Structure 1
Amino acid sequence: MKRFINIKTLAFLLVLLQLVSCNETNWNENYKEKEKSPFGNYIIYNEATTLLETEKVVLLNENIYDYLFHNYNERADYGSYICIKNSAYKLTDDGIDNLLRFIHNGNDAFIAVNYFSDSLKEKLGFTTNNLDKNASTVAELRELKGEFTLENNQFANKTYNFDRNIRRHYFLEYNENSTIVLGTTKIDGEQVPNFIKVYHGKGALYLHTNPVVFTNYNMLNGKEAYAANVLSYVSNKSILWDPHIKSSKFANKKDDNNSVFKFFLEHKTLTWFLFVSLAGVLLFMLFNARRKQRPIPIKEPLKNTTVAFTQTIANLYLKEQDHKNLVDKKIAFFLEKVRTKYLINTASLNSSFIEKLAAKSGNELQKTKYLIHTIIALNKKDDCSEEELIVLHKMIDNFFNK
């Protein structure tokens, strides 16, 4: 494994931060490589050559899609891509496709974000659950703590405790045939994956759900060992470090050269043909606008409006953004169906109940635990988000469709 950050270097950086921080401390998460505030990426980027034991770290000054388009040779074994941000929103669908081709050819990517794009989730076949998605203020984030572990035997029996800004964000579902769990976090007493490796072609993606652990605050607070151990998995060849500062100039742009109308307008005869045709259509519509006789009204039979009524009620809840009410009804529906279908008492959702439910329903014990713990967590909340409602609906639907 790669060596940790030099202690003398850390001490020097700490003194440097104290000297330059004359103004009030900025506790907002910004993940900027040039930012020396607590939740910037100044230290992790400047110590990348030491952590990754590489001589070349390229800080991209353009979008990764544009960089690979201009510089990457698919026959070359280049190295690794690293992105540590709140969300990789500038990584478009085209950018993801290009990055996956880069990885498929034998390169690696390390992505640590609080919010993964739906496109990346779909292409790699995984889902996540973020129980603290709505926590955004400094006061709210300060209360969020976490305990992490790494699955490698070299790090066995060692836990890493973080004291703030640790969102309860973890991987919910993933393809077990192409994915390895490298690290976990404890949520409501349950160890759930927050660091995974996804094989893709000849390369692999390393995905982490808590980018805050790599920021200046934790690197100077005795947590540099965890960052070093996590990044030790990444290839130590050339590194493409993405500061995520620019949108692509080329991705998602339509090519207008093949426009049918442009082709017609380039030729005079075809242009006249187009105009005459349009004029003929307009005249036809004008002279046939009125029917020659009044239409016979069609009497529609009475419709069964039960489904429409149900949809109207559901839309009313959605329009009012009353996600908590829908979550409560979804949980009540689930428990009622468990009582009637499996004849299990739902008064106490303990470990004995989970084991009985898993055995009678034929579902895996681990997935049943995730479902019940999610229900318990949502029951305790005063308010729920739309994403939490959707996640709960999918989990219950998958449970009964087993």
Structure 2
Amino acid sequence: MFKLHIHKLVTLFVVFLLLTSCKKTNWSENYREREKSPFGTYIVYNEAKNLFESEEVILLKQNFYDYLFENYDTTTPNFGNYICIKNDAYWLSEDAIKELLSFVADGNTAFISLNYFNKSLKKQLEFTTNNLDKDVFGITKLRELEGTFKFTNEELYNSTYKFDRNIRRNYFLQYNENKTIVLGNAIVGGEDVPNFIKIYHGKGAVYLHSNPVVFTNYYLLNDKESYTEKVFSYLPSSTILWDPQIKRSKYSNQSEKENSVFKFFLQHPTLKWFLFVTIVGVLLFMLFNARRKQRAIPIIDPLENTTVAFTQTIASLYLKEQNHKNLVDKKISYFLEKIRTKYLLNTNNLNKEFIKNLAAKSGNNLQNTKYLVNTIITLNKRSKCSEEELFVLHKMIEKFLKNK
């Protein structure tokens, strides 16, 4: 039933690299179906129709409770498999959990992989969990958490899977042994503890997995797709309802206040006072800040230095006119002025004595100095000069001035 397409994963991997190479990698566990970051669920969500190629896959765009409400006539007994992979099932309200378990009891199946399970779900399915790393949140600390998983099935028992990061020691502590089967274990402190179980409920069953991170992009692109394949192979062949948990319910009778963050704060005295002090602090800040706020001082841009642009314009005019003799004369004048300023030599008479003194003071070879001065004398006498002669003179002067 469940089959991974390696060539498609490779294609997705290339796309993943292209899209993430230009910015800093996001290592947070977001479990978002649109995230191509390491711990998003982009691959498993978008490949669902290929992973379950023999079944119809319905990617829910609404709350699961709302889907059942609007499609009551089509969700018959033995209709399909509900799949949810997230950090928690925050948007699954009490009504939604009740309907989900009713959906399962009619002969359907649910696969739920979470770091944090709802209290209501735990109570109704009679299980508890223990998370030894519940207080570990930082990316650096999570990176140090490694884990080894294996299946209890005799045919798969020899296969162990080692995961190199973000593996919390989160497992099922208590459960009703009369209706629960342990399908997979995690090794914690040298002991095998269940992290993948099947709980029979009515005519159907609920599969629970306590490490959703193993189904993210990071592990599907790091040779762990076979683990995902074997986990999903337990699901019966039927329609897939894939729930990314993206929206609140529109039809649930519960008010949104029951799921609000403010209610959580108000339930704890310490957090209630923290919320109160924060709100008062923000109001005081806004009050005093508004009184002290000054009118913004306009930014005056400094005058732009247009010397380079002016020089480029003049040079372009000379090149357009093709007056090479004019440029040669200016180049010679510039060079002689440099000699007078730097070496304090008289340039009125460019004779042998001048050449000898110039070579000595500049540190240039006498022969090269003589050749340069003779070139200057020759070009001074001409009425016209070619572009090549201008270029040669320029290179000779530049070479002469660079020698120290």
Q: C-alpha offsets along residues 51-79 of structure 1, whole Å, 9 cap, x if unaligned?
A: 33334221111111111011033544310
Change (3 A) 1:142 1:66: same
After TM superposition, give the deviation of residue 320 of structure 1 in Å. Answer: 9.6
User: Scaled by the length of structure 2, what TM-score is found?
Assistant: 0.61
Matched residue of 2:110: which SS? strand
Q: Distance in 1 between matches of 2:165 and 2:124?
A: 32
8 Å contact 1:84–1:112 — kept in the other structure? Answer: yes
Q: Distance in 2 between matches of 1:75 and 1:205?
A: 17
* Equivalent position of 1:206 in the other structure: 207
Q: C-alpha offsets along residues 117-161 of structure 1, whole Å, 9 cap, x if unaligned?
A: 110000000000001001111111100000000112221211000
* RMSD of aligned residue pairs (Cα, Å): 1.9
Structure 1 residue 124 corresponds to structure 2 residue 125: yes
Change (3 A) 1:2 1:245: closer
8 Å contact 2:93–2:254 — kept in the other structure? Answer: no
8 Å contact 2:38–2:216 — kept in the other structure? Answer: yes
* Equivalent position of 1:181 in the other structure: 182
Matched residue of 2:68: which SS? helix
After TM superposition, give the deviation of residue 35 of structure 1 in Å. Answer: 0.9
* Equivalent position of 2:63 in the other structure: 63
Q: Distance in 1 between matches of 2:155 and 2:244?
A: 31
* Equivalent position of 2:160 in the other structure: 159
8 Å contact 2:184–2:194 — kept in the other structure? Answer: yes
Counterpart AA for 1:46: N
After TM superposition, give the deviation of residue 247 of structure 1 in Å. Answer: 0.9
* Equivalent position of 1:381 in the other structure: none
Change (3 A) 1:13 1:176: same
1:218-297 map, 5 Å: 218-253=219-254
* Equivalent position of 2:83 in the other structure: 82
Q: Distance in 1 between matches of 2:135 and 2:100?
A: 29
Q: C-alpha offsets along residues 84-117 of structure 1, whole Å, 9 cap, x if unaligned?
A: 0000011111110000110011110000000001
Counterpart AA for 2:122: K
Structure 1 unmatched runs, 5+: 255-317, 322-402
Matched residue of 1:155: which SS? coil
8 Å contact 1:52–1:234 — kept in the other structure? Answer: no
Matched residue of 2:187: which SS? strand
8 Å contact 1:51–1:232 — kept in the other structure? Answer: no
Matched residue of 1:182: which SS? strand
1:304-323 map, 5 Å: none
Q: Distance in 1 between matches of 2:179 and 2:41?
A: 30
Q: Distance in 2 between matches of 1:150 and 1:53?
A: 24
Structure 1 residue 141 corresponds to structure 2 residue 142: yes
Q: Distance in 2 between matches of 1:99 and 1:241?
A: 13
Matched residue of 2:155: which SS? helix
Counterpart AA for 2:15: L
Change (3 A) 1:29 1:106: same
* Equivalent position of 1:24 in the other structure: 24
Deviating above 6 A after TM superposition, structure 1's stretches of 4 or more consecutive aligned residues are: 318-321
Q: Distance in 2 between matches of 1:182 and 1:76?
A: 25
After TM superposition, give the deviation of residue 249 of structure 1 in Å. Answer: 1.5
Change (3 A) 1:320 1:107: closer
Matched residue of 2:90: which SS? coil
Change (3 A) 1:243 1:75: closer
Change (3 A) 1:24 1:181: same
8 Å contact 1:85–1:211 — kept in the other structure? Answer: yes
Q: Distance in 1 between matches of 2:76 and 2:5?
A: 36
Change (3 A) 1:53 1:235: farther
* Equivalent position of 1:169 in the other structure: 170
Q: Distance in 1 between matches of 2:250 and 2:154?
A: 45
8 Å contact 1:52–1:231 — kept in the other structure? Answer: no
Counterpart AA for 1:9: K
After TM superposition, give the deviation of residue 6 of structure 1 in Å. Answer: 1.9
Matched residue of 2:205: which SS? strand
Q: C-alpha offsets along residues 20-54 of structure 1, whole Å, 9 cap, x if unaligned?
A: 11211100011111111000101111222333333
Change (3 A) 1:57 1:2: closer
Matched residue of 1:15: which SS? helix
Q: C-alpha offsets along residues 324-377 of structure 1, whole Å, 9 cap, x if unaligned?
A: xxxxxxxxxxxxxxxxxxxxxxxxxxxxxxxxxxxxxxxxxxxxxxxxxxxxxx
Counterpart AA for 1:95: A
* Equivalent position of 1:349 in the other structure: none
